[in-house]
Chains A and B, each alone.
Chain A
Amino acid sequence: MSIRAIIADDEELARHLLREYLAQQPDIELVGECENGFATVKAVADLKPDLLFLDVQMPKLDGFEVLELLDHNLAVVFVTAYDQYATKAFDAAAVDYLLKPFDLARFRTALDRVRQRVTSPPATVAAAELRNAALPPGRFAERIVIKDGARVHILPVGQIDYVEAQDDYLAFHSAGKTFLKQQTISSLEESLDPKQFVRVHRSFIVNLERITKIEAYTKDARLAILSGGAKIPVSRGGYLKLKEVMSV
């Protein structure tokens, strides 16, 4: 059985090099090439390959965002020029990563790992959490990517009103619309700028800029009223966090 592979890289020469190396591997069949993140997500959904060579810097969606949106379980080999922060994330998320430029021997080592991985697939990793690991210290997510059937929404974090945890999903509320994404609220909390987003409750994260007032509700609980009219429960601990952030 041959391994079906896709190459995703925006540079023609970089794709050419991978194509050339792959041509020497009889057990790997190249089924597609993509020049940007959107095309990659679509190609993986349509072609269901076993292996993806994924460049990190790409137009539309970067490699990590692509990874978040893949629901098909496949082996990923990251290909990148330079990223001092991401290597740890690569280790966790990918079968291997190749640093450009790489030689044929290094490429073969990566393929050996792929062959082992394809025959015995490990548990899936939470891609959204890997994104956090790849961000340099002090930098936070600037947008959230959400897959909705065949469509991909890109939500800049500034447009988020609040986020509510619902079982395994997060509901992102933005200007009256709701987007669902499979992610844990703790991993989202970590990736957002704590000066703008505060987890005011076990299941709620709120955008500070949307809060118009905070009302007492019961003895320990309060309600945050947002500019859109939504009422968000604020726990005791959440209220302390809010006070701390807002007084700074």
Chain B
Amino acid sequence: MHPLFQNRNSLFAYFFAWVPLGAMLGVVVSAAAHLNWRATAAIVAPVTLLMAFVCLSPWYVCRALPLKGTPTWKLLSHHWVAATLASAFVPSIVPLFLLTFASRIQGSPISLEPTMRVLASMCFLFYLLSIALHYVLQTLESTRQAEVLSREAELKALKAQVNPHFLFNSLNSISALTTIDPAKAREMCIRLSDFLRNSLRLGERMSIPFGEELALASTYLDVEQVRFGKRLRVTQSFDPACDACEVPPLLVQPLVENAIKHGIASLAEGGEIYLTAQLSDGRMLFSVENPFDPDAPAQRKSGFGLLNVRNRLRARYGTAARLDIDPGPGKYRVSLTVPFTKEPVK
């Protein structure tokens, strides 16, 4: 069902838009076949009405042949055939009964041939215009949907942000530290607050400099360092030029969190997380590498975090960004490639 039929107002507006088109058609037909205005109206009005209905049909064809992913020859040939059929069908009602009726109004016989020629070519033109309009509408609709999706993905990311395990375990560490080392307990309270505050603040923005993203991940690692002690070792190698690259917020933190949750936490003796960021060919590459226990159940729940990052990359960059996962032997590596830009997205 065409979406126009779902709303009486928009259907009315559509037919109203055909009034000037019908008038235009009338002018051309009356000039070509030398008709008076009443005879012209008798022919053109029913033809225009029929054409208005026929011009809704490209909706189905356009949906079956999306602009992206359909070969050009297929697009051209299918629409050409459809337009030809439409321009043959619509004027065919003229010789059936309209012509005699119009001749009576005109008071003299009307020659069929010029009328049909004009009507057929105008119909062909209108049909092609309708195809173009349907594609425009289709693109607008999919853009709108993509925006809704990216918004939803971002909201989900924020919800997933404060992982309850992380929060409660950190609070438990603080609880233990209060008697062992009160100064350290206070320090951890402050680090944890910094992390929570910053992730809320950054999450509200559409775009942040990569440097801030790294600072957030580093606060997160500070907190985890207290929990895991010697089991967690972090090595970082960052090109300072990456700091200015604008990225969607909270891309890095979920990756680092996965590295801890599925990597370090699964290993009794812990291990080293290796973070790198560098520029190459106008793109920024960021990677997280962590060891893991191959016997542990395969990366439980990590699917959601990675999927979320991937969705947000697609919403922002389309195919220009990539998220690669390399579950090598004993080492799990996730790398992120985004176009380098200093322009924040509004």
> Chain A residues in contact with chain B, CB under 8 A?
10-14, 16-17, 20, 35-36, 39, 57, 59-60, 81-82, 99-101, 142-143, 154, 156
Q: Which residues of chain B in 162-207 are interfacial with respect to chain A, using CB atoms and an 8 Å cutoff?
A: 164-165, 167-169, 171-177, 179-180
Residue ID in chain A nearest B261 by CB atoms: A57
Which residues of the partner chain A approach B176 to less than 8 Å between Cβ atoms? 13-14, 16-17, 20
**Given known contacts A13-B173, A13-B177, A13-B227, is B168 in contact with A59 (CB within 8 Å)?**
no
Q: How large is the interface on B (under 10, 10 to 19, 20 to 34, 35 or more residues)?
A: 20 to 34
**Given known contacts A17-B176, A59-B267, is B168 in contact with A101 (CB within 8 Å)?**
yes
Residue ID in chain B nearest A57 by CB atoms: B265
Which residues of the partner chain B approach A11 to less than 8 Å between Cβ atoms? 169, 172-173, 227-228
Q: How far is the CA of A123 from the CA of B31 in the complex (A)?
A: 101
Which residues of the partner chain B approach A36 to less than 8 Å between Cβ atoms? 268
B268 to A35, Cβ gap below 8 A?
yes
**Given known contacts A100-B168, A101-B175, is B268 in contact with A59 (CB within 8 Å)?**
yes
Q: How far is the CA of A82 from the CA of B163 in the complex (A)?
A: 10
Q: How far is the CB of A236 from chain B (nearest CB, A)?
A: 35
Q: How far is the CA of A16 from the CA of B297 in the complex (A)?
A: 28
A142 to B175, Cβ gap below 8 A?
no
B174 to A101, Cβ gap below 8 A?
yes
A81 to B297, Cβ gap below 8 A?
no
Other-chain contact of B172, A39, A59, A81, A142 (Cβ < 8 Å): A81
Q: How far is the CA of A101 from the CA of B175 in the complex (A)?
A: 7
Most buried by B among A14, A20, A59: A59
A-B residue pairs in contact (CB < 8 Å), sample of 25: A11-B173, A11-B227, A13-B173, A14-B169, A14-B173, A14-B176, A17-B172, A57-B165, A57-B265, A59-B265, A59-B266, A59-B267, A60-B268, A81-B164, A81-B165, A81-B167, A82-B164, A82-B165, A99-B168, A100-B171, A101-B174, A142-B297, A142-B298, A143-B297, A154-B295
Most buried by B among A39, A57, A100: A100
Q: How far is the CA of A60 from the CA of B296 in the complex (A)?
A: 7
Tell me whether B229 is interfacial, beta carbon within 8 Å: yes
**Given known contacts A16-B176, A81-B172, A142-B300, is B227 in contact with A59 (CB within 8 Å)?**
no
A17 to B175, Cβ gap below 8 A?
yes
Tell me whether B243 is interfacial, beta carbon within 8 Å: no
Q: How far is the CA of A81 from the CA of B172 in the complex (A)?
A: 8
A82 to B168, Cβ gap below 8 A?
yes
Q: How far is the CB of A245 from chain B (nearest CB, A)?
A: 22
B179 to A13, Cβ gap below 8 A?
no
Q: How far is the CA of A17 from the CA of B266 in the complex (A)?
A: 22
Beyond A11-B172, A13-B227, A16-B176, 11 additional contacts (C-beta under 8 Å) are A13-B177, A13-B229, A17-B176, A35-B268, A60-B293, A60-B295, A81-B165, A82-B168, A100-B168, A101-B168, A101-B175
Which residues of the partner chain A approach B295 to less than 8 Å between Cβ atoms? 60, 154
Q: How far is the CA of A149 from the CA of B48 in the complex (A)?
A: 88
Tell me whether B122 is interfacial, beta carbon within 8 Å: no
Q: How far is the CB of B272 from chain A (nearest CB, A)?
A: 16
Residue ID in chain A nearest B295 by CB atoms: A154
Q: How far is the CA of A2 from the CA of B168 in the complex (A)?
A: 32
Q: How far is the CA of A59 from the CA of B179 in the complex (A)?
A: 27
Q: How far is the CA of A82 from the CA of B228 in the complex (A)?
A: 18
Which residues of the partner chain B approach A81 to less than 8 Å between Cβ atoms? 164-165, 167-169, 172
B268 to A101, Cβ gap below 8 A?
no
Q: How far is the CA of A142 from the CA of B295 in the complex (A)?
A: 11
Q: Which residues of chain B in 190-226 are interfacial with respect to chain A, using CB atoms and an 8 Å cutoff?
A: 226
Q: How far is the CA of A50 from the CA of B98 in the complex (A)?
A: 101
Q: Which residues of chain B in 135-163 are interfacial with respect to chain A, using CB atoms and an 8 Å cutoff?
A: none
Residue ID in chain A nearest B264 by CB atoms: A59
Q: How far is the CA of A82 from the CA of B261 in the complex (A)?
A: 14
Q: How far is the CA of A209 from the CA of B261 in the complex (A)?
A: 31
Q: How far is the CB of B159 from chain A (nearest CB, A)?
A: 14
Which residues of the partner chain A approach B177 to less than 8 Å between Cβ atoms? 13
Q: How far is the CB of B299 from chain A (nearest CB, A)?
A: 10
Other-chain contact of B293, A20, A59, A142, A156 (Cβ < 8 Å): A59
Most buried by A among B265, B268, B295: B268
Residue ID in chain A nearest B185 by CB atoms: A13
Which residues of the partner chain A approach B226 to less than 8 Å between Cβ atoms? 13
B171 to A101, Cβ gap below 8 A?
yes
Residue ID in chain B nearest A103 by CB atoms: B175
Residue ID in chain A nearest B298 by CB atoms: A142
Q: Which residues of chain B in 290-323 are interfacial with respect to chain A, using CB atoms and an 8 Å cutoff?
A: 293, 295-298, 300
Q: How far is the CA of A100 from the CA of B173 in the complex (A)?
A: 9
**Given known contacts A57-B165, A82-B165, A142-B300, is B266 in contact with A100 (CB within 8 Å)?**
no
Q: How far is the CA of A59 from the CA of B177 in the complex (A)?
A: 23
Q: How far is the CA of A20 from the CA of B175 in the complex (A)?
A: 11
Q: How far is the CA of A36 from the CA of B269 in the complex (A)?
A: 10
Q: How far is the CB of B121 from chain A (nearest CB, A)?
A: 54
**Given known contacts A100-B171, A101-B174, A142-B298, is B164 in contact with A10 (CB within 8 Å)?**
no
Q: How far is the CB of A141 from chain B (nearest CB, A)?
A: 9
Which residues of the partner chain B approach A59 to less than 8 Å between Cβ atoms? 265-268, 293, 296
